[in-house]
């Protein structure tokens, strides 16, 4: 990317709120049902039906507002956004327009150099999702599935504070983490529970005026957000450098071709004729409601990261990764509570072998085959020298395979560490005797060969000899 | 006893007769179904007659009465305006758009009245989507006024009013967005009550202008209005704008004594627009209230003259959005030769909606459009707030505001169809109550050239009982409401 240009990005994130029923009806929000089996008359927009606000969405939106240090409006208003589309049953979407429930928030993302950057959150508002049009396999007809119609969404709009695709992804990940911490969204991107549109423009560095922006739609993974924005930045810069102009338009990201293409221009844009929905009263909330929501907020990721560094002495980077999900952080804390071993050792195991095993089977930590108490007892056995760290990997595999408890596996596989000094001494003596030339070289000053001897001893003991003792005894024998 | 005269009785009389076993619910239903057969070809008041269903319900009502399990309105026949969704029964809203539409559910008003024991005889004709003041915008043709078949019965609840005036049913439900219950009541010599906004659930009532629509009743006596309102009023969790406020026993609480009642009279309501003889009838009615102990007080509603233009911004704005769901995709009329999506929308809506509905959708779309919203919609909402404030101040000094319901008696069918503005001015006295969400009632107060006119009473929020009492007291001393069009005696 040319150093002459500055990129300006703002994101609109649609996060589906984790309610059991829809925002304005009692129909279920469960994903994956047969088309049109989870759409009641209200969702279908039948004549005469009326919306009733699901109260839990108000609490969820307020908790998000408080979590990002925003103003939670004491009075917010649902408005109708009018346009015709087959998957929009009423011919209008109920959303919030002039008076959203959340305004003026902020969060901080980590820069590559470890410093933090503040990203403003303009607003977050409640709205209903539309249904889905289905074109495949219908012989030229379009099918409509209204199961998703009326699903509650919180649309979170950032300030144009983001300066690169990387920052945009960091911001999106942070929002993703926060909504899952709050338990207000499952954040499932495959199922469309968390998706984003990006407004992208570029301007010559130093310019105050914003360049013409395009809006990128259909960004349903972190990877696509990054790729789509980077493609779009390059496209815009190429255009401008060739003396062209960026056209204000909506562009669709095509993941297969890794490109964005024009969907509709500003001229074709709808006049949505927003006006307050007369079927719904303004949402009015008072201080006691806000206080109750505030009191129910969980510890949020930034605070948890700081605490993991302060309280557990973790490396900041590790603390950051462990707190990406509340479940992982809880796992870490539960494991730490069950062992006297250093927390960093626990963290290393979680971020290393456990994460690898979970990834391999695409499991989340709540469904881990190795539970926090199991991991704790494994780390405990390393800490008390029953097994070495290397042997522990084999025990971990045994745990994952369901072979029993840590101690049972150590016992049944015969993995207990050899800490009997005399036993180690005799093996050491044997190894030195079998490697006379190396012993001579060592004694002549090539002390690096100690590692070779350690390896030989460990091999001879099947890795079970206590490495510290092996080192000490080897040195003693070789130096004597 | 003979069932020949059952159609002339009021709800209250019929209720007593059923309780006394003077006649059965089946006999009553049969008698009225026969009336409908005999007379509705002329009136065109009903769009659907649910004879079989009515007789089934009547048989059940008779069983309940026999078992001593009669409910408050057991066995009493009514008709529902065809704006109310009725499960398993065609619900057209007077529009080609819903010509074949059978609702899968009951409106709250319908289910509450059914649960109270009423029996639905059929669905009443109406202006298309309740947009009209003469019943001439109905896809199914105009309703004729029983007092003169060349005249309109008013609208939009014209079918309900004509059915009650023509003695096809003792009572009917209606809806009132700008006068749609009260104006036809005045023009047919019936009682029309529009309750406080939020008093009756709007769930299942096909929306015209959501912030103005309110369901109410058309009956021949004030007692019947009290009886029927009691069966349908009350909070409904399915309507966020319905209000959780206790429902009194309106009927038992009826009270004749008017002493100390302060009746406000609005000067503007007696201006040049009011036809002379209609004005005289209304003044006479006011005098009677005075002789019964009420005090007449001049009140000023400084912004009331703006109510018609305000209404014709707010109501079309809301209707333009409310009617978007009629797109030919899921229900209702769908053009069969559409080439693509846009064509499907344009043709289905172009064919399904009539001229007046289209006029209002266009007006509403215009006033909500970018660049016009502030000048029209927002301004209208500000004026609306002023009008509501005027009423609030007035009700600090008076108990009710009284005046004419309409500027003239019934007009001839076709007389105003080419001039929407003149048609709109028919609601000049009634629209204010809708804009302010206030309860209002029209009670028969005389005849001009053989055609009935009405006295209009407006009350403060939830003052239905006061309105009913004033009208009840008035009816105790007058016999206008006993008069019946000759051909329908």
Q: How far is CA B424 from the centre of its chain?
A: 16
User: Facing residues of B265 across strands?
Assistant: B298, B402
Cβ <8 Å between B324 and A279: no
The C-alpha atoms of residue B477 and residue B79 are separated, in whole angstroms, by: 29
> What does the block give as tokens for A81?
């956004």
Which of B240, B319, B349 to mutate against chain A (most A CBs within 10 Å)? B240
Model pLDDT, residue A268: 64
User: Facing residues of A214 across strands?
Assistant: A200, A249
The C-alpha angle B426, B364, B383, rounded to 5 degrees, equals: 65
Instruction: Kindly list the structural domains of chain B, giving each domain's residue range(s) and its CATH number in brackets, ordered by start.
Output: 3-260+399-488 (3.90.1300.10)
Cα distances (Å, whole numbers) of residue A421 to A410, A426, A427, A469, A479: 20, 9, 10, 7, 17
Model pLDDT, residue B200: 98
Cβ <8 Å between A86 and B329: yes
Percent of chain B surpassing pLDDT 70: 100
pLDDT digits (tens, 9 = 90+) for B191-241: 999 999 999 999 999 999 999 999 999 999 999 999 999 999 999 999 999
pLDDT digits (tens, 9 = 90+) for A363-417: 989 999 999 999 999 999 999 888 888 889 999 999 999 999 999 998 888 888 8
**CB contacts < 8 A (A, B):** 100
* Cα atoms in the Cβ-side hemisphere of radius 13 Å centred on B38: 14
Question: What is the three-class DSSP state of A193?
Answer: coil
Cβ <8 Å between B330 and A51: no
Model pLDDT, residue B423: 83
> What does the block give as tokens for B376?
């029209």
Cβ <8 Å between B321 and A275: yes
Which residues are CB-contacts of B29 (< 8 A; sequence separation ≥ 6)?
B54, B55, B57, B58, B77, B119, B121
Q: Which of B202, B205, B377 sits opposite A275 (nearest CB)?
A: B377
Model pLDDT, residue A107: 97
Q: Which of A45, A274, A279 sits opposite B325 (nearest CB)?
A: A45
Which residues are CB-contacts of A158 (< 8 A; sequence separation ≥ 6)?
A10, A11, A12, A13, A119, A120, A121, A122, A171
**At B219, phi and psi to the nearest 5?**
-140, 180
Instruction: Kindly list the structural domains of chain A, giving each domain's residue range(s) and its CATH number in brackets, ordered by start.
Output: 5-290 (no CATH), 299-412 (no CATH), 421-479 (1.10.10.410)
Lowest pLDDT segment from A171-175, A229-233, B208-212, B417-421: B417-421
Model pLDDT, residue A385: 82
Mean pLDDT over A56-64 rounds to 98
- Catalytic residue numbers of B read 81, 156, 180
Cβ <8 Å between A50 and B105: no
pLDDT digits (tens, 9 = 90+) for A100-145: 999 999 999 988 887 899 999 999 999 999 999 888 888 888 899 9
The C-alpha atoms of residue B487 and residue B148 are separated, in whole angstroms, by: 10
Sheet harboring A259-265: ordered strands across? A71-72, A102-110, A116-128, A152-158, A5-16, A194-204, A214-219, A249-254, A259-265
Q: Measure in Å the smallest separation between the Cα of A140 and chain B Cα atoms.
A: 11
User: How much is the pTM?
Assistant: 0.91
Which of A22, A25, A48 to mutate against chain B (most B CBs within 10 Å)? A48
Q: Measure in Å the smallest separation between the Cα of B238 and chain A Cα atoms.
A: 6
How does residue A467 score in pLDDT terms, banded at 50, 70 and 90?
Answer: confident
Cβ <8 Å between A48 and B107: yes
Residues of A at the B interface (Cβ-Cβ below 8 Å)?
41, 44-53, 80, 82, 84, 86, 89-92, 142, 144, 271, 273-275, 278-281
Cβ <8 Å between A84 and B325: no
Which residues are CB-contacts of B385 (< 8 A; sequence separation ≥ 6)?
none
> What does the block give as tokens for B73?
């309105």
Residues of A in contact with B241 (CB under 8 A): 50, 278-281
Positions in chain B short of pLDDT 70 = 1-2
Work out the number of other CB atoms within 10 angstroms of the CB of residue B291.
Answer: 9
Say which residue the tokens 């102990």 belong to: B293
Determine which helix (DSSP H) or strand (DSSP E) holds A276, and give its type and residue range.
Answer: strand A275-276
Q: Which residue of A has its CA nearest to B324?
A: A91
ipTM over 0.85: yes
Cβ <8 Å between B324 and A271: no
Q: Measure in Å the smallest separation between the Cα of B480 and chain A Cα atoms.
A: 36
Q: Does position A200 have pLDDT exceeding 90, yes or no? A: yes
Model pLDDT, residue A266: 64
Model pLDDT, residue A478: 86
Strands B295-299 and B262-266: parallel
The C-alpha atoms of residue B207 and residue B319 are separated, in whole angstroms, by: 8
Model pLDDT, residue B2: 65
Closest CA to B164 of B447, B478, B471, B444: B444
Question: What is the three-class DSSP state of B135?
Answer: coil
Q: Which of B204, B321, B324 sits opposite A48 (nearest CB)?
A: B204
Say which residue the tokens 């901080």 belong to: A108
Strands A92-96 and A78-82: antiparallel
Residues of B in contact with A46 (CB under 8 A): 85, 103-105, 325, 330-331
Percent of chain A surpassing pLDDT 90: 75
DSSP state of B177: S
Cβ <8 Å between B324 and A44: no
pLDDT digits (tens, 9 = 90+) for B403-445: 999 999 999 999 988 888 888 888 899 999 999 999 999 999 9
Residues of A in contact with B340 (CB under 8 A): none
Q: Is the bond preceding B156 in cis, omega lying within 30 degrees of 0? A: yes
Are A168 and A162 a contacting pair, CB within 8 Å?
A: yes
Work out the number of other CB atoms within 10 angstroms of the CB of residue B323.
Answer: 27
DSSP state of A426: H
């Amino acid at each position: 990317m040319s150093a002459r240009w500055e990129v300006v990005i703002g994101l609109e994130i649609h996060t589906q709120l984790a309610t059991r029923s829809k925002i304005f009806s009692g129909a279920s929000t469960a994903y994956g049902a047969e088309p049109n089996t989870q759409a009641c008359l209200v969702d279908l927009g039948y004549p005469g039906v009326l919306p009733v606000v699901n109260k839990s969405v108000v609490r969820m939106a307020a908790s998000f507002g408080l979590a990002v240090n925003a103003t939670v409006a004491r009075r917010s208003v649902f408005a109708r956004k009018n346009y015709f589309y087959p998957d929009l049953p009423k011919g209008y979407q109920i959303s919030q327009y002039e008076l959203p429930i959340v305004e003026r928030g902020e969060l901080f993302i980590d820069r590559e150099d470890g410093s933090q950057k503040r990203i403003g959150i303009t607003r977050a508002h409640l709205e209903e999702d539309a249904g889905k049009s289905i074109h495949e396999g219908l012989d030229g007809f379009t099918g409509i599935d209204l199961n998703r119609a009326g699903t509650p969404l919180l649309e979170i709009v950032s300030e144009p504070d983001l300066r690169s695709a990387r920052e945009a992804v960091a911001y999106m990940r942070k929002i993703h983490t926060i909504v899952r911490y709050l338990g207000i969204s499952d954040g499932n991107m495959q199922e469309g529970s968390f998706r984003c549109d990006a407004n992208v423009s570029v301007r010559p560095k130093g310019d105050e005026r914003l360049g013409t922006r395009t809006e990128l739609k259909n960004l349903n993974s972190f990877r696509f957000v990054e790729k789509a924005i980077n493609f779009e930045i390059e496209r815009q810069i190429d255009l401008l450098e060739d003396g062209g102009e960026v056209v204000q338009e909506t562009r669709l990201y095509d993941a297969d071709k890794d490109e964005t293409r024009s969907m509709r221009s500003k001229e074709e844009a709808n006049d949505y004729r927003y006006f307050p929905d007369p079927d719904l009263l303004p949402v009015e909330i008072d201080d006691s409601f806000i206080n109750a929501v505030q009191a129910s907020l969980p510890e949020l990721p930034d605070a948890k990261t700081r605490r993991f560094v302060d309280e557990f002495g973790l490396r900041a980077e590790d603390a950051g990764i462990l707190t990406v999900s509340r479940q992982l952080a809880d796992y870490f804390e539960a494991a730490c509570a069950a062992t006297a071993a250093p927390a960093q050792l626990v963290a290393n195991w979680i971020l290393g072998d456990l994460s690898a095993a979970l990834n391999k089977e695409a499991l989340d930590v709540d469904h881990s085959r190795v539970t926090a108490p199991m991991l704790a007892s494994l780390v405990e056995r390393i800490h008390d020298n029953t097994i070495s760290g290397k042997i522990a990997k084999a025990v971990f595999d045994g745990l994952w395979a369901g072979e029993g408890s840590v101690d049972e596996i150590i016992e049944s596989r015969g993995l207990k560490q050899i800490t009997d000094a005399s036993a180690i001494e005799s093996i050491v003596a044997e190894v030195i005797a079998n490697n006379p030339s190396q012993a001579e070289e060592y004694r002549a000053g090539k002390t690096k060969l100690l590692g070779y001897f350690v390896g030989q001893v460990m091999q001879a003991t099947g890795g079970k000899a206590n490495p510290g003792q092996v080192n000490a005894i080897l040195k003693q024998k070789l130096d004597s | 006893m003979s069932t020949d005269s059952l159609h002339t009785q009021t709800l209250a009389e019929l209720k007593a007769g059923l309780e006394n076993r003077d006649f059965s619910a089946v006999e009553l239903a049969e008698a009225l179904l026969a009336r409908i057969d005999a007379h509705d070809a002329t009136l065109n008041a009903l769009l659907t007659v649910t004879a079989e269903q009515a007789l089934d319900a009547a048989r059940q009502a008779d069983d309940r009465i026999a078992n001593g399990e009669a409910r408050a309105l057991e066995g009493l026949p009514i008709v529902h305006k065809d704006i109310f969704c009725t499960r398993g029964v065609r619900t057209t809203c007077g529009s080609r758009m819903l010509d074949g539409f059978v609702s899968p559910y009951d409106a709250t008003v319908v289910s509450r009245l059914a649960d109270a024991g009423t029996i639905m005889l059929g669905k009443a004709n109406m202006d298309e989507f309740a947009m009209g003041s003469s019943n001439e915008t109905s896809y199914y043709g105009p309703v004729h006024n029983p007092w003169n078949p060349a005249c309109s019965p008013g609208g939009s609840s014209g079918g309900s009013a004509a059915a009650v005036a023509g003695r096809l049913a003792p009572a009917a439900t209606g809806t009132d967005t700008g006068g749609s219950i009260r104006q036809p009541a005045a023009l047919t010599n019936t009682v029309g009550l529009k309750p406080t906004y939020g008093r009756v659930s709007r769930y299942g009532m096909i929306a015209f202008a959501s912030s103005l629509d309110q369901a109410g009743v058309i009956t021949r006596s004030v007692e019947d209005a009290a009886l029927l309102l009691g069966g349908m009023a009350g909070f409904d969790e399915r309507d966020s704008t319905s209000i959780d406020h206790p429902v009194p026993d309106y009927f038992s609480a009826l009270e004749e004594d008017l002493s100390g009642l302060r009746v406000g009279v609005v000067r503007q309501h007696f201006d040049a627009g009011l036809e002379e003889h209609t004005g005289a009838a209304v003044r006479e009615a006011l005098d009677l209230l005075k002789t019964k102990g009420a005090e007449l007080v001049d009140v000023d509603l400084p912004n009331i003259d703006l109510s018609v233009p305000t209404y014709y911004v707010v109501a079309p704005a809301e209707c333009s959005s409310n009617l978007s769901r009629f797109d030919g995709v899921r229900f209702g009329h769908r053009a069969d030769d559409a080439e693509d999506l846009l064509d499907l929308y344009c043709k289905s809506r172009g064919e399904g909606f009539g001229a007046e509905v289209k006029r209002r959708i266009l007006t509403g779309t215009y006033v909500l459009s970018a660049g016009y919203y502030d000048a029209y919609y927002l301004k209208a909402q500000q004026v609306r707030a002023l009008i509501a404030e005027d009423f609030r101040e007035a009700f600090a000094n008076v108990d009710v505001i009284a005046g004419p319901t309409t500027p003239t008696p019934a007009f001839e069918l076709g007389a105003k169809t080419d001039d929407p503005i003149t048609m709109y001015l028919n609601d000049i006295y009634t629209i204010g109550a809708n804009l302010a969400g206030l309860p209002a009632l029209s009670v028969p107060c005389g005849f001009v050239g053989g055609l009935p006119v009405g006295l209009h009473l407006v009350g403060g929020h939830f003052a239905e009982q006061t309105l009913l009492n004033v009208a009840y007291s008035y009816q105790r001393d007058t016999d206008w409401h006993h008069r019946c069009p000759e051909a329908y005696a």
